[in-house]
Amino acid sequence: MKADRAAGLIIVIAGSGLALATSQIGILASQPTLSARFFPYLLSAILLVGGATLFVRPGETELISVVEKLLNRRALALAVLFLIYALTFRMLDFRLGTWAFVLAAMWVLGSRKWQELLITPLCVSAAAYLLFRHGFTVLLPVWT
């Protein structure tokens, strides 16, 4: 089996699940901003189109070679880091949790320059916070 075909099927299933879950989000009819369903529906549409495209027009890569790469130590470490980030999201200040996740991910991926490790996580954390809090007016978990 081709890797893209398997990935496309998984992405279509994920997109369908996201669309189904999004339909359960409650919204206010008088909400002055974008509905809480807007971005999840947009993401599910992107997943469905992208997954269907991969499924219909797969590349040449065989599934076994991709699975071997996914099971290497770095990929598994990133998956564990993301799982920890997701599970602690509500408990940590968004800025601190995002900073720690980006810093750890950069370290796992091999970044060792102290300038990169100092500046990049701070910038990513600040930019994500400002974008979601003030750009999209999304409430994020913060310590006050």
93: left (phi over 0), alpha (psi -120 to 50) or beta: beta
What are the tens digits of pLDDT across the range 27-82? 777 767 777 788 899 999 999 999 999 999 988 888 888 778 778 899 999 999 99
Paired strand residues for 2: 62
Q: In Å, how far are 39, 45, 142 from 42, measured between CA atoms?
A: 5, 5, 26
Structure tokens at 66: 């991709």
State the angle between helix axes of 38-56 and 3-22 in degrees (0 to 180), rounded to the nearest 10: 160
- Global pTM reads 0.64
What are the tens digits of pLDDT across the range 105-141? 999 999 999 999 999 999 999 999 999 899 888 888 8
Q: Around 117, how many Cα atoms within 13 Å sit in the side-chain half-sphere?
A: 12
Structure tokens at 93: 């200040």
Q: In Å, how far are 10, 73, 91, 104, 122 from 97, measured between CA atoms?
A: 28, 23, 9, 11, 11
State the angle between helix axes of 94-108 and 114-130 in degrees (0 to 180), rounded to the nearest 10: 140
Instruction: Please give the helix or strand (H or E) that residue 133 lies within, else none.
Output: none
Structure tokens at 60: 């040449």
Confidence of residue 144 (pLDDT cuts 50, 70, 90): low
